[in-house]
Structures are given as C-alpha cells and as structure tokens.
Amino acid sequence: MSAIAKTIEADAAAEQELTDGFHLVIDALKLNGIDTIYGVPGIPITDLGRFAQAAGIRVISFRHEQNAGNAAAIAGFLTKKPGVCLTVSAPGFLNGLTALANATTNCFPMILISGSSEREIVDLQQGDYEEMDQLAIAKPLCKAAFRVLHAADIGIGVARAIRAAVSGRPGGVYLDLPAKLFGQVMDASEGERSLVKVIDAAPAQIPAPEAVDRAVALLKGAKKPLVILGKGAAYSQADEEIRNFVEKTGIPFLPMSMAKGILPDTHPQSAGAARSLVLKEADVVMLVGARLNWLLSHGKGKTWGPAGSQKFIQIDIEPREMDSNIEIAAPIVADIGSAMAALNAKVGGWAGAPKEWLATVAEKKDANIAKMAPRLMKNSAPMDFHAALGALRTIIKERPDAILVNEGANTLDLARGIIDMYQPRKRLDVGTWGVMGIGMGFAIGAAVETGKPVLAVEGDSAFGFSGMEVETICRYGLPVTIVIFNNNGIYRGTDTDPNGRDPGTTVFVKDARYDKMMEAFGGVGVNVTTPDELSRAVNAAMDSGKPTLINAVIDPTAGSESGNIGSLNPQSVVKRKK
Ligand SMILES: CC(C)(COP(=O)(O)OP(=O)(O)OC[C@H]1O[C@@H](n2cnc3c(N)ncnc32)[C@H](O)[C@@H]1OP(=O)(O)O)[C@@H](O)C(=O)NCCC(=O)NCCSC(=O)C(=O)O
C-alpha cells in the first residue's frame, strides 16, 4: 500500500473515532495541567468522576460538597492553579457554593463544576429532578460564571474558567455543565481541535515606574515605617523578593494570619508581638497583598494613629482596592512579585529604618513575649489553651515544614499568636470571613497537594462543621493529625438554660470523646489531658503519618467569647424579667 493510501485509511479510522462531553471535559482539564478533582459523586456527574480517575486524574471523593470545595480552594491558594470541585446539581451545587464564595472573598483561584438539569425544563420551571437555575444563583457569589451547552464549546468553557480564576485578582469561578452535555457525541479529532490550552493564564502586571518612585520616596522619608504582609503576599510565592526587601530596608513587618512564615515569626524584624504598638505608631505603612478590611480595623479608629497622621502605600493587583477604606498615598497596582522586584531595584544603598523605631518595637515585643512565656509552660490537667498551645508551638518549631490548619474561636485567636511559623504558606485558617468549617477540607487539600504532614488544630465546635471527613482522611490514608481542643462548647462549656429546660445554647455533650470517631474508620484515636501527653501523641502521629485524632481535654471554664472583634458581636445591656 502506498504512503498516501495508508494516510487516507488512517484518517478514515480516526474519523470514526468518537468522543463525548464526559471525555472532553477531562481532556480539557488535563491539557491545562489540572491533575486533581475534589468532589462528591452523584447524578449527573458520577461517570465524570469515574472516567477522570481512569484517565489518571486524582479524584478525591468527599462526604459533603462544602468540604470538597474548601479543599479545592486551598489547593488553589497553595499551587496558584485553580482547584477544581465537582458536584451534583441543585443541593450539591449549593453546598459547594459556600466554599466558592469563600474562595472568592479570600482571592483563592477555584472552579466549581456542577452538573445541572435540563435547560428547557428548568427555564419553564416544569419540575425537573434537582431543578435550579444554578448559573443565575452562582453569578453574584463568584468572580465569573459560565455555562456550556454544546460539547464543541467545552474547551472554550474550561479555558475561560481557568483564565478567570487565576488572572488579575484570583477568585472563584462557576462552570455549569448541564446533564445533556455529557452525552453529546462528536468526532474525536474535531473534539481534540476544540480544546484550548491556556497560555500565560496569569500574566505579570508590571508596576508603573512613577508609582514605585512615589512609594520609595515615602518610605525613605519615614521615621517609623511598617510593612504589613497579607495572604496575597503568601499567594504570590514571591518569597525571596519580599524577604530581600524587608531585610534590605530593615523595616519591621507585621504578618497577617496566613502570611505568617513568609519570613519566620522569630525573625528579628517581626513585629507580630508588638501589633498594637506598630499599628498605632507607624507613620508610613506599606500593605503588601493585605487589604484594609475588618482585620485591620479598616485603617482607622482607635487601633490606628490619629486620623491623617499615617500615610499608606498599597501593593495590590486590583486597582479598585485602592482607597477602599482610607486614602492610599502611594498605590502600586501590580502583581506582588513584579512590585517587590521593582522596589528592590530602587532601595539599594538606603540607610534603613531608623534605629530608635526598631528599638521601640523590640522593647514592646520582648515584653509581650516575656509576659506570655510562663503561661505556655504549665503542665496542668485540665489544660488551658495556653498550656496546650505551648506544646504545639514546640512541635511546629521542630517540624517547620508541616502545614498547620487552624479554626475555632479561642483555639484560633490564641494559636495565631502562640504558634510561630517558619515557612511560607504553612498556616491555613479561617481567612477573610473568619468562617468556621474549613478545617477538614483544608487539611485534605493541603495533604493531597503537598504530600506534607498536616496538623489541624480545631476548636470542638469548628471541627463539627466538617468532622465527617475524618472518614475521607482515613479512606485515602492521608498524613493528617487532628487535635480537638475540647472544652465542651463554643467559647467554653459552661453556659446554661436559665429555665433549666434545655442545654445552654453554646454547650455540647459534656466530655465527648471525638477520638472514638476516628477509630470507627480505622484511624488512630487518642485522648489526652496534659500538655506532655498531647506532645507525645502529636509526635507519634506525625512520625507515623497515620490519620490520627487527638481529643485534647481543655478546662471547660477556659476560653472567652469572640466579642472583641471590633463591634461585631453586640452584647445586650438590657435586663429583661422572665
Ligand atoms: C482582628 C485581629 C487581627 C486582631 O487581633 P488582636 O487581638 O488585636 O491581635 P493578635 O491576635 O494578633 O495579638 C494579640 C496580642 O498578642 C500579641 N502577640 C502576638 N504574637 C505574640 C507572641 N508570639 N508572643 C507574645 N505576644 C504576642 C500582640 O502583639 C497583641 O498584643 P498587643 O500588641 O499588646 O495588643 C484578630 O483578632 C483576628 O485575626 N481575628 C480573626 C478572628 C476570627 O476570624 N475569628 C473567627 C470567628 S470565631 C466565630 O465564629 C465566632 O466567634 O462567632
């Protein structure tokens, strides 16, 4: 047979080969380097998960979509690639939507892919199985939302979702795939040609030179400069540029919670333990991937110096972030890596931050650290939060590449200050919304994406939102150690019903044994009552890499209410008679 005849025959064979919506979605994801899907199987996406796994994509099946969504979101934060969450229609979609909205708020790139019911029936509201106009509902809660109706458009749909998730300010994207789409059949070669490889999905955004000069001039004139690092800085992975800038200029830095570890908390320039002082007294504040939201008291009020006495430099990729709460004297609109590189090129030969300022910060910091130290060393039973966290602080010091997941009220607030972090992107917590329920999703996402050991430090209440995923952790054999600070309730375990009828509104079953939950699924469960026992149990768990849950008994009277978050937790002053 001649070469031409052979080619014609091969072409004819290829033409007969078919593909369908299921396989095109998988091919489009793979073409763009997406190698993991987090989700919950069910109608109409059960086969999508099966086929994806068969095609070599890692598919992690959860017990609830919100946790799968949180895993996808944190995968996005850790890798700068969109984390993908796959759900069924209506209720499954809605469960995933909370995580998508949270990802958007936190600027984590994520794509929620949900199957949906028949458009013709949904739009006429004729009562389809899990009928819901999911695209309309998702739109206000994410950065972008797309629906694909034809198999030939799957490539474009996936490409648009990826680009929207990671470019500019990252965020959550919804991709609606109606059930009918998966079954649409087309010629395989035509299908392949319809796929799109996204080139340069998150293009660098170079700062304007005059914006950089304006910022440098402000910094050089400052007597009390301060750098605040936010989780945008952590996301950028511009670790070296940031470290170079901070060390070259000698300016004290204050890390927001998820920015801890970009530079170690033990770094001599860290102002973490002098927070109140630096926020009030700094004259020039440079925000690096940090927003002036509630966590920074909106840049005004009693947390800060007198109005107008402080000048702000802000680095953010989103121009509309500037002046969101107060005037920004030197806005730098750029990606953080490009901005820091440009700043580094301009600050050579600078004498650095004034010595008196550094001494003032160091003095306050040393005093706060010395005040806290004895509380971290008590080996009492029952433990209070400080004693238990003192033990965990040592463990992270000895295992600096472990990932710490943290949620709760006291468990969060105290761990943030007490547990020093040494490496970037090792502390994952409740973020911008202060949301409870990220725990097991983040722990699973972090373990899957990094292969590193994960230590999840959870309040007993916070754990409850995602606790069923301990089965997922055991099923996939993930190196996750969960420590539950169990003080019998929300804030503490002592609330009562004044009528004596029901349990108090914030208490749980007394002396619950969360460790038994883990044993039910073949994991290791341990109950501990002292910091020494806690240390031993955590070290054993992390050495073994076996899924472990440690029920850490905390004094039920320990803990206070999160009422000190600005004025956000109003407490009644009115006394009513029964
Ligand atoms: C808004 C905040 C950033 C501000 O908190 P502050 O209390 O002002 O600051 P910090 O916690 O960082 O620090 C408290 C003090 O400890 C000092 N500090 C910090 N680190 C250290 C170390 N290592 N050693 C000694 N002292 C330290 C720090 O300088 C402060 O002291 P001084 O400098 O002397 O002041 C924070 O509260 C926060 O991140 N909140 C998020 C809470 C959240 O999301 N909760 C979820 C809601 S729970 C829920 O659902 C609910 O309750 O309802």
User: What is the CA(184)–ligand 1 centre distance, in A?
Assistant: 54
- Ligand 1 contacts CB of residue 273 (under 6 A): yes
* Residue count (the chain): 578
Q: How far apart, in whole angstroms, are the C-alpha atoms of residue 541 and residue 525?
A: 10
Q: What is the 3-state secondary structure (H, E, C) of 462-525?
A: HHHCCHHHHHHHHHCCCCEEEEEEECCECCCCCCECCCCCCECCCECCCCCCCHHHHHHCCCEE
Question: pLDDT value at position 76?
Answer: 99
Question: pLDDT value at position 9?
Answer: 60
Ligand 1 binding pocket mutation candidate from 102, 226, 304, 368 (most atoms within 8 A of CB): 368
- Ligand 1 contacts CB of residue 290 (under 6 A): no
Q: Are 409 and 464 in contact (CB under 8 A)?
A: no
User: What is the CA(230)–ligand 1 centre distance, in A?
Assistant: 15
Ligand 1 binding pocket mutation candidate from 360, 416, 492 (most atoms within 8 A of CB): 416
Question: pLDDT value at position 480?
Answer: 99
- Ligand 1 contacts CB of residue 417 (under 6 A): yes
Q: Are 285 and 311 in contact (CB under 8 A)?
A: yes
Give ipTM to 2 decimals: 0.97
- Ligand 1 contacts CB of residue 205 (under 6 A): no
User: What is the CA(276)–ligand 1 centre distance, in A?
Assistant: 10
* Three-state secondary structure call for residue 260: coil
Half-sphere exposure of 362 (CA within 13 A, CB side): 11
- Ligand 1 contacts CB of residue 429 (under 6 A): no
- Ligand 1 contacts CB of residue 428 (under 6 A): no
Q: Are 458 and 296 in contact (CB under 8 A)?
A: no
Q: How many other C-beta atoms are found inside a 10 Å radius of the C-beta of residue 348?
A: 7
User: What is the CA(286)–ligand 1 centre distance, in A?
Assistant: 20
* Closest atom of ligand 1 relative to the 257 alpha carbon: 39
Ligand 1 binding pocket mutation candidate from 257, 275, 433 (most atoms within 8 A of CB): 275
Q: How far apart, in whole angstroms, are the C-alpha atoms of residue 372 and residue 514?
A: 29
Question: pLDDT value at position 8?
Answer: 56
Question: pLDDT value at position 159?
Answer: 98
DSSP state of 383: B
- Ligand 1 contacts CB of residue 293 (under 6 A): no
Spacing of C-alpha 253 from chain mean position: 22
Measured CA to CA in angstroms, residue 506 lies from 101, 494, 495, 555, 556 at distances of: 27, 8, 6, 15, 12
Strand locations in 317-386, DSSP E? 330-333
- Give the H or E element holding residue 427: strand 427-429
- Ligand 1 contacts CB of residue 18 (under 6 A): no
| CA nearest neighbour of 430 among 447, 402, 405 | 405
Q: Is 301 left (phi over 0), alpha (psi -120 to 50) or beta?
A: left
Q: Are 453 and 481 in contact (CB under 8 A)?
A: yes
Q: How far apart, in whole angstroms, are the C-alpha atoms of residue 77 and residue 230?
A: 13
Question: pLDDT value at position 381?
Answer: 86
User: What is the CA(172)–ligand 1 centre distance, in A?
Assistant: 28
| Residue nearest ligand 1's atom 9 by CA | 275
User: What is the CA(268)–ligand 1 centre distance, in A?
Assistant: 20
- Ligand 1 contacts CB of residue 393 (under 6 A): no
Amino acid at 185: V
| Residue nearest ligand 1's atom 27 by CA | 273
Q: How far apart, in whole angstroms, are the C-alpha atoms of residue 286 and residue 249?
A: 12
User: What is the CA(418)–ligand 1 centre distance, in A?
Assistant: 10
Half-sphere exposure of 224 (CA within 13 A, CB side): 18
- Ligand 1 contacts CB of residue 496 (under 6 A): no
Q: Are 164 and 138 in contact (CB under 8 A)?
A: no
Please, where are the H alpha helices in 116-259? 119-123, 134-138, 154-166, 179-183, 188-194, 209-220, 231-236, 239-249
Q: List, for the chain, all residue ranges whose pLDDT scores fall below the cut of 70.
A: 1-15, 563-568, 577-578
Q: How far apart, in whole angstroms, are the C-alpha atoms of residue 511 and residue 101?
A: 35
Question: pLDDT value at position 6?
Answer: 62
- Ligand 1 contacts CB of residue 298 (under 6 A): no
- Ligand 1 contacts CB of residue 60 (under 6 A): no
Q: Are 242 and 263 in contact (CB under 8 A)?
A: yes
* Three-state secondary structure call for residue 263: coil
Q: Is 475 left (phi over 0), alpha (psi -120 to 50) or beta?
A: alpha
- Could you give the strand order of the β-sheet that contains 330-333, starting from the edge strand earlier in sequence? 253-255, 225-229, 284-288, 311-316, 330-333
Question: pLDDT value at position 566?
Answer: 56
